[in-house]
Amino acid sequence: MTGMPLSLHGFPLRKSVQEISVNGDEPSPEFHGFPLVLLIFLHQFQSPLLILAIGQGISNSFLNKVRGVAKQFFQLPQEEKQKEVLHEYSIKLKQLVDLLFKAMAKSLAFEENSFSDQFGDNPPHSDRSWITVLLQDEQVEGLQFVKDEKWITVPVIPHALVVNLGDQMLIMSNGIFKSPVHRVVTNTDKLRISVAMFNEVEPEKEIGPVEGLIDENR
């Protein structure tokens, strides 16, 4: 197993991500002990990459501990007052922004929902980071990304980390590694908590394509 080559052109998976997800299976034994298993959704080189990293050496129980801490943080009783205020503030801001988009559409003589129809609560975007690592909720899905002009829901695999390239990587690789467009579809029935780590270049630092990746074509 350890000699298995990693390839961007698809990983020799016995089961598809969907199968593992639907059945809630552990990854098959040949993946055990392998430092990093990358289930590559979009495995065509030079297309946007979104990776589910399992068997990455972080135990499932530790990942659950992180989720637990995140949940506790949002449930802290002494935070109740601040939470109410922030919740109210976010609702008011949402109304303000909705109004603004409607006014902007109308100012161009478009139907008022022309802009706002195109996004939900977490509008389609690519991350500005160079790489984002996301611990999804262990039960509630919601993250979607674009593939072939369709929205694909990222399956919930409790022990997987979602690894997502951002725009800074797109710039540094001169467009070779693209940042996938994604969104989160919210769910009014179930609480969904995700823990994201955005790895970003320092704000003052100017970045550009790595020299060897610039030629007359790109």
Ligand X SMILES: O=C(O)CCC(=O)C(=O)O
Does residue number 116 form part of the binding site for ligand X (CB under 6 A)?
no
Partner whose binding site includes residue 161, from ligand X, Fe ion, none (CB under 5 to 8 Å by kind)? none
Does residue number 91 form part of the binding site for ligand X (CB under 6 A)?
no
Q: What is the Cα Rg of the chain in Å? A: 20
Whichever of 105 and 133 has its CB closer to ligand X, that residue is: 133
- Cα separation, 157 vs 39, whole angstroms: 11
27 with 20: CB under 8 angstroms?
Answer: yes
Whichever of 127 and 159 has its CB closer to ligand X, that residue is: 127
Amino acid at site 111: E
Dihedral of CA 17/136/141/128: which sign? negative
Sites for Fe ion among residues 81-140 (CB under 5 A):
127
10: left (phi over 0), alpha (psi -120 to 50) or beta: left
Among 127, 145, 159, 161, binds ligand X (CB under 6 A): 127
CB of 132 to ligand X, least distance (A): 7
CB of 151 to Fe ion, least distance (A): 14
Per-residue DSSP letter, 103: H
166 with 129: CB under 8 angstroms?
Answer: yes
- Cα separation, 94 vs 186, whole angstroms: 15
Give the pair of three-digit tokens for residue 137: 């909720």
Partner whose binding site includes residue 134, from ligand X, Fe ion, none (CB under 5 to 8 Å by kind)? ligand X
Whichever of 21 and 136 has its CB closer to ligand X, that residue is: 136
CB of 42 to ligand X, least distance (A): 16
Closest CB to ligand X belongs to which residue?
194
CB of 137 to ligand X, least distance (A): 8
Does residue number 67 form part of the binding site for ligand X (CB under 6 A)?
no
Neighbours of 206 (CB within 10 A): 5
**Contact set with ligand X (CB under 6 A):** 122, 127, 134, 136, 143, 182, 184, 194, 196
